[in-house]
């Protein structure tokens, strides 16, 4: 059987060669992985969350391994949008793989300013709005846990950013589908989910939290079943494409997210375990589809059947 067609339409006119995307904050600015893994073998690269000015993030300790997961409170350290556009983007453009800029601000206007500067830059495929970082005390709360605040931010950015717009959702809510609908109403081209779950680790000797931020965001295999349920529910609640993530470590994990309705997937923490994880998962999806007789990944996406006995 010929190689299955892996191309997916992720909204806003953007088509990816395959559905595997490197997740923000776990793949640097992409360039760090050149020479380690084949950057042309994946669908897209999402870079570390960018802000108007360079940002140092939180002091160490800010990352900790947990059972089946990773707890981090990096605090959105980044070089700032200007250095990204001037120094990183020209090199990234040469790779030929779509580059997605993850970004954030302190208030809606700042989000919009960053979005506008990214839209003016040459060579980006999309912008992903990080309204779901659990480690930004300055926000007062996680933006994507509040429908009104989410609406304000997406509206402000949409008005100034002509690039395909992905809104990244927080799992730290009772009903993620209601926030997804807000993003869709305000003109998002896709929603991506999930960001990390708020967690806590404590030190018995010092009787203090381990991380300087206190809490952190949990990612990795430990969160996969919850993320999968949220992606499943969201894919049924909105018409725009859903980009799924949370604990994906191999091709079978990715195929599960696609089966429940994700149009594409992002791979995060797994790249710390195996820097070639994204490339390996893309190849594994092709093999998994071929083995099951599928000629096109779109014939697989969203075809979950009813539970046994129903
Ligand atoms: C160290 C680290 C840094 C992250 N930084 C960002 C970020 O800057 N922006 C963002 O939207 N998500 C960020 N994330 C969240 C991931 O992109 C992803 O949503 C989350 O880790 C769940 O996927 P995973 O289980 O495959 O890692 C970060 C995650 C980790 C572990």
Assess if residue 208 is contained within a domain: yes
Assess if residue 211 is contained within a domain: yes
CA gap 187, 126 in Å, rounded: 14
218 in Cβ contact with 66 (< 8 Å): yes
Number of domains comprising the chain:
1
- Which residue among the candidates 45, 73, 112, 133 is catalytic per the annotation? 133
Assess if residue 1 is contained within a domain: no
98 in Cβ contact with 125 (< 8 Å): yes
Assess if residue 152 is contained within a domain: yes
Q: Is 1's pLDDT higher than 90?
A: no
Tokens of 156: 């402000």
107 in Cβ contact with 156 (< 8 Å): no
Closest CA relative to residue 41, chosen from 64, 21, 61: 21
Per residue in 81-132, pLDDT (tens digit) is: 999 999 999 999 999 999 999 999 999 999 999 999 999 999 999 999 999 9
Q: What is the pTM of this model?
A: 0.98
Assess if residue 309 is contained within a domain: no
CATH of the domain at 99: 3.20.20.70
Whether 133 is a known active-site residue: answer yes
Assess if residue 62 is contained within a domain: yes
Query: Can you give the residue range of the structural domain that contains 236?
Result: 8-299
CA of 194 to the centre of ligand 1 (A): 9
CA of 12 to the centre of ligand 1 (A): 23
Per residue in 45-66, pLDDT (tens digit) is: 999 999 999 999 999 999 999 9
CA gap 27, 281 in Å, rounded: 15
196 Cβ closer than 6 Å to some ligand 1 atom: yes
Per residue in 227-270, pLDDT (tens digit) is: 999 999 999 999 999 999 999 999 999 999 999 999 999 999 99
């Amino acid at each position: 059987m010929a190689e299955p067609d892996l191309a997916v339409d992720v909204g806003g006119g953007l088509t990816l060669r395959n559905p595997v995307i490197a997740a923000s904050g776990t793949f640097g600015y992409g360039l760090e992985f050149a020479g380690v893994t084949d950057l042309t073998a994946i669908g897209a690269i999402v870079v570390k969350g960018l802000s108007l000015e360079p940002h140092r993030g939180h002091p160490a300790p800010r990352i900790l391994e947990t059972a089946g997961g990773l707890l981090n409170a990096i605090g959105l350290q980044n070089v700032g949008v200007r250095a990204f556009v001037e120094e990183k983007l020209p090199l990234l453009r040469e790779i030929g793989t779509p580059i997605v800029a993850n970004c954030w601000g302190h208030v809606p206007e700042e989000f919009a300013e960053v979005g506008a500067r990214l839209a003016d830059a040459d060579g980006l495929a999309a912008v992903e709005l990080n309204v779901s970082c659990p480690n930004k005390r300055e926000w007062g709360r996680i933006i994507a846990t509040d429908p009104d605040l989410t609406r304000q931010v997406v509206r402000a950015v949409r008005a100034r950013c002509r690039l395909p717009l992905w809104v990244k959702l927080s799992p730290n809510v009772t009903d993620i589908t209601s926030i997804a609908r807000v993003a869709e109403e305000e003109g998002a081209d896709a929603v991506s989910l999930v960001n990390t779950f708020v967690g806590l680790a404590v030190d018995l000797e010092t009787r203090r939290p381990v991380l300087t931020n206190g809490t952190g965001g949990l990612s990795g295999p430990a969160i996969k079943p919850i993320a999968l349920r949220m992606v499943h529910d969201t894919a049924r609640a909105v018409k725009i494409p859903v980009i799924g993530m949370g604990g994906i470590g191999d091709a079978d994990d990715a195929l599960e997210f696609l089966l429940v309705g994700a149009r594409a997937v992002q791979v995060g923490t797994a790249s710390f375990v195996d820097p070639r994880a994204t490339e390996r998962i893309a190849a594994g999806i092709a093999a998994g589809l071929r083995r099951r007789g599928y000629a096109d990944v779109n014939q697989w996406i969203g075809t979950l059947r009813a539970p046994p006995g129903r």
